[in-house]
């Protein structure tokens, strides 16, 4: 049962579906956290993070951990990939690769 | 600090990672760039500086980075015109020895590295971005470093690390006339994980390090 609008009902199936694609020839949305190592004081506490994303990520990781028993780096990457695929646009980014080309 | 904490603390950057962009996928890339450009602003390294220095994103829309890894020729011929059609700035993470490799030797170069090529795009064996193409991308887009050889290196091999990290920067400086600011290590390693690699990154003078989950702005000097 989905409790978070960012996540699919069957998270594992969606992770598997995305993972089966030909990564060498497609675009893969990802979220990256920007981190400042310069010691610039303006950075500290002055950014709004993405709380909804953080909540969805935590829930997704809990679901994967409950199913698999442990979490690997690849699982973390794939969870973020699922979240990015479903939240960058108003529909899944991966759907764009399934469309027919427009008539010209 | 967990990834969830990182997302909550921010700032969070949107990136779309590409490798090859074959001609056969041009319509798809056109749809993707069109959809991204409706919602997001292009991003340059200076935007990341402003964001980190002021705590404010400098555009009215959030940004997106279409990142092209490995320096493939079809990035220039297929992706570049579509990026420009839709007003996006591509980030081209090139492999300098691949771009410097003689055309006839490029099939052997890719076969001995973790580089995948597309069979039907070209009649000749060149699959790498040429230096002329990289010079053309430099400015309208962002040219960045993705090592010199795109090959797995033992993380305690100081000479190889120097060659891949500093050597790549020397190639950019020679061919572009300036150092590049951003670097992506193979397989997504972060700054702070390996002191020997970090020292090489510092010596090379990169400002940003892209890894699996982060973009880190680095200390200078």
For the segment A6-23, what is each residue's pLDDT rounded down to a tens digit?
899 999 999 999 999 999
Domains of chain B: 3-217 (3.20.20.370)
State both tokens at A39: 């010691």
Q: Does any domain span residue A55?
A: yes
Q: Three-state SS across B53-104?
A: HHCCCCCCCCEEEEEEECCEHHHHHHHHHHHHHCCCCCEEEECHHHHHCCHH
Is the model's pLDDT at A44 over the cut of 80? Answer: no
Which chain A residues are closer than 8 Å to B54 by Cβ?
Answer: 42, 46
Q: Does any domain span residue A103?
A: no
Closest listed residue to residue B148, CA positions, set B181, B183, B178, B176: B183
Is the model's pLDDT at A34 over the cut of 80? Answer: yes
Which of B13, B17, B91 to mutate to test binding with chain A, by most A CBs within 10 Å of its CB?
A: B17
A71: contact with B, CB 8 A cutoff: no
User: How far apart are alpha carbons A3 and A9 in whole angstroms?
Assistant: 9
A49-58, B70-79, B83-92, B193-202: least confidently modelled range: A49-58
Size of interface A-B (CB pairs under 8 A): 159
For residue B187, CA distances in Å to A66, B194, B213 come to 27, 13, 11
Give me the pLDDT at residue B221, please.
Answer: 57
Tell me the nearest-neighbour CA distance from B160 into chain A, angstroms.
25
> Where are the strands (E) in chain A, listed by range?
28-36
User: How far apart are alpha carbons A43 and B128 in whole angstroms?
Assistant: 38
Predicted TM-score (pTM) of the model is 0.94
User: How far apart are alpha carbons B152 and B28 in whole angstroms?
Assistant: 32
**Start-end of H helices in B101-210:** 106-111, 131-137, 158-161, 168-176, 195-204
User: How far apart are alpha carbons B110 and B152 in whole angstroms?
Assistant: 13
Q: Are B168 and B196 in contact (CB under 8 A)?
A: no
Give me the pLDDT at residue B1, please.
Answer: 55
Closest listed residue to residue A31, CA positions, set A90, A78, A92: A78
pLDDT more than 70, % of chain A = 83
* Partner-chain contact A26 B25, CB within 8 Å: yes
Mean pLDDT within B153-169: 92
Q: Does any domain span residue A3?
A: no
Instruction: Among A27, A40, A51, select the one facing B17 at the smallest CB separation.
Output: A27
Cα dihedral: B49, B31, A2, A58 (round 10): -20
Among A41-45, A56-60, A66-70, B96-100, the range with the most confident prediction by mean pLDDT is B96-100
Between B156 and B1, the higher pLDDT residue:
B156
Between B165 and B156, the higher pLDDT residue:
B165
Give me the pLDDT at residue B186, please.
Answer: 82
Contacts of B53 (CB under 8 A, 6+ apart): A40, A42, A43
Q: Are B78 and B20 in contact (CB under 8 A)?
A: no
A53: contact with B, CB 8 A cutoff: yes
> Where are the strands (E) in A4-100, listed by range?
28-36
A22-26, B7-11, B78-82: least confidently modelled range: B7-11
Give me the pLDDT at residue A46, please.
Answer: 53
Tell me the nearest-neighbour CA distance from B14 into chain A, angstroms.
5
Tell me the nearest-neighbour CA distance from B88 into chain A, angstroms.
14
B2 pLDDT tier (thresholds 50, 70, 90): confident
Is the model's pLDDT at A42 over the cut of 70? Answer: no
User: How far apart are alpha carbons A86 and A43 in whole angstroms?
Assistant: 29
Q: How many domains are there within chain A?
A: 1
Q: Does any domain span residue A74?
A: yes
Task: Find where tokens 């399934």 sit.
Answer: A98
Q: Does any domain span residue A16?
A: yes
Is the model's pLDDT at A1 over the cut of 70? Answer: no
Mean pLDDT of chain B: 94
State both tokens at B164: 């891949």
Task: Give tens-digit pLDDT for A86-98.
Answer: 999 999 999 998 6
Is the model's pLDDT at B46 over the cut of 90? Answer: yes
Q: Does any domain span residue A57?
A: yes
Between A69 and B220, the higher pLDDT residue:
A69
User: How far apart are alpha carbons A58 and B129 in whole angstroms?
Assistant: 40
User: How far apart are alpha carbons B91 and B138 in whole angstroms?
Assistant: 10
Q: Does any domain span residue A40?
A: no
A104 pLDDT tier (thresholds 50, 70, 90): very low
Chain B nearest-CA residue for A29: B16
Cα dihedral: B202, B205, B211, B216 (round 10): 90
Give me the pLDDT at residue B153, please.
Answer: 83
Give me the pLDDT at residue A18, please.
Answer: 95
Between B55 and B143, the higher pLDDT residue:
B143
Q: Does any domain span residue A6?
A: no
Task: Give tens-digit pLDDT for B104-148.
Answer: 999 999 999 989 999 889 999 999 999 999 999 999 999 999 999
Tell me the nearest-neighbour CA distance from A103 into chain B, angstroms.
11
Domain that holds residue A75: 11-31+48-95
Give me the pLDDT at residue B9, please.
Answer: 82
Mean pLDDT within B175-181: 98
């Amino acid at each position: 049962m989905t409790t978070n609008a960012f996540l699919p009902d069957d998270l594992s199936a969606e992770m598997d579906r995305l993972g089966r694609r030909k990564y060498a020839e497609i675009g893969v949305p990802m979220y990256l956290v920007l981190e400042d190592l310069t010691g610039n004081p303006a950075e500290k506490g002055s950014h709004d993070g993405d709380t909804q994303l953080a909540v969805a990520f935590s829930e997704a990781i809990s679901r994967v951990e409950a199913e698999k028993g442990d979490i690997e780096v690849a699982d973390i990457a794939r969870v973020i990939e699922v979240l990015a695929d479903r939240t960058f646009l108003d529909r899944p980014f991966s759907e764009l690769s399934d469309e027919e080309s427009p008539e010209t | 600090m967990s990834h969830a904490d990182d997302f909550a603390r921010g700032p969070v950057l949107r990136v779309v990672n590409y490798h090859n962009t074959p001609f056969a996928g041009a319509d798809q890339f056109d749809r993707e760039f069109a959809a991204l450009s409706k919602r997001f602003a292009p991003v340059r390294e200076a935007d990341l500086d402003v964001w980190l220095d002021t705590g404010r994103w400098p555009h009215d829309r959030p940004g997106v980075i279409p990142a092209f890894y490995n320096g493939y020729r079809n990035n220039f011929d297929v992706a570049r015109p579509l990026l420009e059609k839709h007003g996006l700035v591509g980030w081209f993470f090139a492999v300098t020895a691949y771009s410097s490799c003689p055309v006839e030797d490029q099939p052997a170069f890719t076969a001995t590295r973790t580089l995948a090529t597309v069979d039907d795009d070209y009649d000749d064996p060149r699959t790498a971005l040429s230096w002329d193409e990289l010079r053309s991308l430099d400015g309208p887009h962002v040219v960045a470093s993705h090592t010199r050889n795109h090959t797995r290196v033992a993380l305690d091999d100081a000479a190889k690390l120097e060659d891949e990290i500093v050597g790549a920067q020397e190639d950019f400086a020679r061919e572009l006339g300036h150092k590049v600011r951003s670097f992506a290590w193979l397989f997504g390693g972060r700054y702070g994980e390996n002191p020997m690699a970090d020292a090489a990154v510092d010596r090379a003078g990169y400002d940003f390090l892209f890894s699996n989950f982060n973009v880190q702005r680095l200390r200078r000097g």
